[in-house]
Amino acid sequence: MSDETAARLRVPPPASPFHVALLEPEIPQNTGSIARLCAATCSVLHLVGRLGFRIDEKAVRRAGLDYWHLVDVRTHPDLEHLAQELPRARWHLFSARGARSYLDAAFAPGDLLLFGKESVGLPDDLTTAHDGRVWGVPTSGGVRSLNLSNTVGIVLFEALRGTGALSGAALTEPT
């Protein structure tokens, strides 16, 4: 059996998807990996502010992102426009300086998961304004922080698990 014809472990798409937002992402490979996560989980990807790369059709094709058409990608000039598009979404902000573990967050379908740029994270004024909703991923080693795409994967799958979205997984034949 070839890889293309092998069954895959699948769950139904969530009725209310999570929204993954990247504030001014700088590294195209991270955003590509996060886009793949969003495609695999039927989550919406929001790119906010100035991007450190292009996402036009030519750039995406050159990068070999053959799954890009499977991702619901939305761009926003700033966080205010993002908030206007998602007026009911509860915001969860993720920072290497977060004092509370993401494992203690009470995620709900439709929540917004906001991550900062790779070089500096989220602005201090933003994390101060959302003080009760700033989370971190605990580490035991001496690294400064985790890679952005790894952090999004950790958090997104915990949010899906915690809301029951991964329950009922079954092997499904390819379409």
Tally Cβ neighbours within 10 Å of residue 66. 10
Residue 24 pLDDT level (bands cut at 50, 70, 90): very high
Strands (E) across the chain are located at: 8-10, 19-23, 44-48, 72-76, 91-94, 100-101, 112-115, 134-136, 170-172
Residue 171 pLDDT level (bands cut at 50, 70, 90): confident
Range with the lowest mean pLDDT among 9-18, 24-33, 46-55, 113-122? 46-55
pTM: 0.91
Domain ranges of the chain: 16-125+146-167
Helices (H), the chain: 28-41, 57-62, 79-85, 124-129, 148-162
Q: What percent of the chain has pLDDT over 70?
A: 89
CATH class of 16-125+146-167: alpha beta
Q: Provide the token pair at 101.
A: 């573990």
Residue 29 pLDDT level (bands cut at 50, 70, 90): confident
Distances (CA, A) of 104 to 61, 128, 130, 168: 39, 19, 16, 24
Most confident of 26-30, 83-87, 139-143: 83-87
- State pLDDT tens for residues 96-142: 989 999 999 999 999 999 999 999 999 999 999 998 999 999 999 88
